[in-house]
Amino acid sequence: MVHQTLAPLLAHRIAKKRPATLTWTVNDYGIEWLCSEPEPIDCILSDWTDLLRQDGLLNDLNEALQLSELTRRQFRTTARIAGWIFQGYPGRMKSARALQTSAGLIFDVLSKYDPDHLFIAQARQDVLTEFCDLERLTLTCEWLRQMQPHQVNVARPSPLGLPLMIERLSARVSTETLQMRLQKLTAGFDD
């Protein structure tokens, strides 16, 4: 979860420094950022400690991940548990879309007229702890700030880099199978 939050957070902070289009891939072992120009990626090396700063973390997370939309979605669970949303009768349950619409209306009213309402605060806290794992994210940022990044040019993907490339390939639409694309990608590795 930390990687899923850290990747867009750093991409957002890089893009704030230099206009850029960045894409990222995440797995349990790492993060891959891609950009058509080298300058934004070079920013990771040159501005490492600044990119991992704690100040403005919640604002940057909100901008990078649209936390308000995630909070809106999480609010459905909070409102359902509180009994604010009628789920239907046994055998005639409401659809997920109808439940989300009902929760969305309640969320909009509370956001406008009572933005500090306990249920909105609970939904926001749930997003920060369950989706972002804010506590581990801050610890990870502090741990990474103490390290000095370095760049290593490799002829082929490293053992931890290859799964990231496979993840990126599997997220694209193609008529080729993943196996076919992987064979094309690794064709020159034996040289």
pLDDT in tens, 158-178: 888 888 888 887 766 556 677
Q: Cα–Cα distances in Å, from 98 out to 69, 76, 88, 94, 104?
A: 17, 11, 10, 6, 10
Mean pLDDT in residue range 40-56 = 88
CA distance linking residue 58 with residue 55, whole number of Å: 8
CB neighbours of residue 134 within 10 Å: 19
Mean residue pLDDT of the chain comes to: 86
Give which of 4, 23, 24 is closest to 70, Cα–Cα. 4
**Residue the block writes with tokens 């934004």:** 40
Residue 140's pLDDT is what? 93
CA distance linking residue 22 with residue 12, whole number of Å: 9
Write the single-letter amino acid at 175.
Answer: T
CA distance linking residue 136 with residue 133, whole number of Å: 6
Crossing angle of helices 67-82 and 57-65, in 10° steps, is 90
Q: Is 3 helix (H, G, I), strand (E, B) or coil?
A: helix
Q: Between vectors from CA 99 to CA 97 and to CA 103, what angle results, nearest 5°?
A: 115
- pLDDT bucket at 190, cuts 50 / 70 / 90: low
Q: Between vectors from CA 13 to CA 59 and to CA 73, what angle results, nearest 5°?
A: 45
Are 61 and 132 in contact by the 8 Å Cβ rule? The answer is yes
pTM, 2 dp: 0.71
Residue 166's pLDDT is what? 83
DSSP string spanning 39-98? HHHHHHHHTHHHHT-STTHHHHHHHHHTHHHHHHHHHHHHHHHHT-S--EETTEEPPHHH
